[in-house]
Amino acid sequence: MDPELPPVERTVSTEEALESIERARSWRERLVEAVTGSEIWRSVIRHGNPALRRNRSLAVVGNFFLHLHPPTVTRQALKFPHTWYMGGISFLLFLVLTVTGTLLMFYYVPDVGRAYEDMKDLQFAVSFGPLLRNMHRWAAHGMVVTVILHMIRVFFTGSYKPPRQFNWVIGVGLLILTLLMSFTGYLLPWDQLALWAITVGANMAAATPLIGHQGPFHELVGVQADSDIRFLLLGGTQVGQNALIRFYVLHCILLPLVAVLFIGVHFWRVRKDSGISNTR
Amino acid sequence: MLDLELDDQSDRRPPSHWESMKRRAFTLTGIGSLVAVAIAWTAGLVRYMFPRIRYEPPTRFVAGFPESYRPGEVDTKWQKDHRVWIVRRGDGIYAILANCTHLGCTPSWFGDERLFKCPCHGSNFTQVGDPVAGPAPSPLYRVSLSIGPDGQLIVDKAIQENRPGHRDRPPFRLTLDGNSRGDVPA
Ligand code: HEM
Ligand code: FES
């Protein structure tokens, strides 16, 4: 028996009783209550006792991450024979690329005198460098494959038809962005393969009608080797420092930002077009 | 519940003609300025992305005395720095741009086969620059050659020609047998 408690036979007022209960609570209980009762805690843990089904569904519906699987996107509709999981896997690879790419940026400097050496350091001197570099490379190749397979499945299941035409258009944008991210990333190792691949790729741009200096009708616009679309892409007439920094900025910042925007709209459209196609 | 007083706008005076014109002018000026700023920014951005200073090798360089090149040979000593081969063939000398006409890789000279071969997609070119295999659609470009005051060759890559006939006249091919064309001092 707690010696602090008053003897049972004495009559006590309500205040006295509450006071003694309060005194009897351990400091641990008080701490827990101070934390879980605080405004900050309750703003993060927003839902009641999870033993209740209703609270559990509220927690799912009110959560951004769990909302990726909302009621309009049913488990039935996501089944492998219909989606091949290719959209979801493309997104997963995009996340892998974002994380590994950000980590690679801690060592890679886009300078013609350093870039190749930095890649070699990542390969041979940096702890876990080869793992990150290989993950980035394989995920990049993989994403091109899965995005194309995803497009094929959308075509075969007829999911581009009304009301989903707009999402198909967004998808074409995502395909182009995926290819551009691959192309710009290819220059960054700054080895012979990179240099000549980008030389060849940029020379194809020179054959663009009107705005490429070797393309049809370029005389009408009057573009030259130092004023055409290829020059704009490379920041020069040949692949050099300007091209490297341009491709680096496009690859690490601009294209991923635009891709995030497009992916956001893409997923939102799946819901607005009443979910994945074989439900309705 | 509904506050009918608020809904009743009968005591509001409709804007006079002058007032609504003023409003319209204000709105149009606002939208117009926004559009103008957007256009100016876009134009400025496009111009910004075209660099005015380029850190690229100059297009002209001095390539030594014509006689220092061996007859019948392709000299590749300028390939690395300037992407140019000097060829002395018959009574003439010319400079070929080492830039594949397919998509711009650098071919290599294979002396035993007497062919330029491109590593990227396999185009082959003869010693005069004509394509004989692979996807390259046209002959290699020749670049301008001239003789400087000290008698040394000057190569200018800004001036190019690859049409048969045209490419065999100065400045795309100089004759070395004395003064026959008056372009090379004896
Ligand atoms: C970065 C690339 C892409 C990502 C991350 C992505 C992701 C997704 C995901 C997760 C879905 C849900 C269903 C599923 O997984 O199949 C989806 C649906 C869809 N995607 Fe993509 N996608 C990409 C590129 C494309 C491309 C290239 C196209 C076609 C041009 C496309 C057109 C569509 C359409 C029309 C739907 C709705 C399909 C339906 O309702 O059945 N997407 N996408
Ligand atoms: S670039 Fe030479 S063959 Fe394609």
In a domain, B142, yes or no: yes
% residues pLDDT > 90 (chain B): 71
Inter-residue contact A207 to A215 (CB < 8 Å): yes
Query: Hey, which residues 126-185 in chain B have their CB within 8 Å of chain A?
Result: none
Q: pLDDT tier at B181 (50, 70, 90 boundaries)?
A: very low
A146 touches ligand 1 (CB under 6 Å):
no
Q: A194 C-alpha to center of ligand 1: Å? A: 30
**pLDDT over 70 (residue B131):** yes
**pLDDT over 90 (residue A277):** no
ipTM value, please give it.
0.71
Q: By residue range, what is the domain housing residue B37?
A: 18-50
The answer to whether residues B112 and B161 belong to one domain is yes
B156-162 CB contacts, 8 Å cutoff, 24+ apart: B156/B59, B156/B60, B157/B59, B157/B60, B157/B82, B157/B83, B157/B84, B157/B97, B158/B59, B158/B60, B160/B97, B162/B101, B162/B129, B162/B138
**pLDDT over 60 (residue B8):** no
Q: What is the pLDDT of residue A22?
A: 80
Chain A residue with CA closest to B48: the answer is: A232
Q: What is the pTM of this model?
A: 0.80
The answer to whether residues B74 and B120 belong to one domain is yes
Q: Between A17 and A126, name the one with better pLDDT.
A: A126
Q: A132 C-alpha to center of ligand 1: Å? A: 27
**Among the atoms of ligand 2, which is closest to the Cα of residue B123?**
3
Q: CATH for A68-272, among 1.20.810.10, 3.40.5.90, 1.20.210.10, 3.30.70.270?
A: 1.20.810.10
In a domain, B165, yes or no: yes
Q: What is the pLDDT of residue B186?
A: 36
- Rounded to an integer, what distance in angstroms lies between the CA atom of residue A8 and that of residue B71? 124
The answer to whether residues B82 and B31 belong to one domain is no
Check CB contact of B48 with chain A, cutoff 8 Å. no
As a dihedral over the C-alpha atoms of residue B119, residue B124, residue B128, residue B130, rounded to 10 degrees, the angle is -130
A84 touches ligand 1 (CB under 6 Å):
no
In a domain, B185, yes or no: no
Residues of B in contact with A237 (CB under 8 A): 54, 56
Q: pLDDT tier at A121 (50, 70, 90 boundaries)?
A: very high
CA neighbor of B92 nearest in space, from B179, B178, B160, B174: B174
Which among B50, B55, B104 is the nearest to A232, CB-wise?
A: B50
Q: What is the pLDDT of residue A25?
A: 81
Q: Among B99, B105, B108, name the best residue to mutate to test ligand 2's pocket (greatest count of ligand atoms within 8 A of Cβ).
A: B105
The Cα-based distances of A227 to A136, A179, A262, B57 in angstroms read 34, 25, 31, 18
The answer to whether residues B114 and B166 belong to one domain is yes
Which among A196, A227, A238 is the nearest to B56, CB-wise?
A: A238
Q: What is the pLDDT of residue B48?
A: 94
In a domain, B69, yes or no: yes
Check CB contact of B70 with chain A, cutoff 8 Å. no
Nearest CA to ligand 2 atom 1: B103
Q: Where are the domains of chain A?
A: 68-272
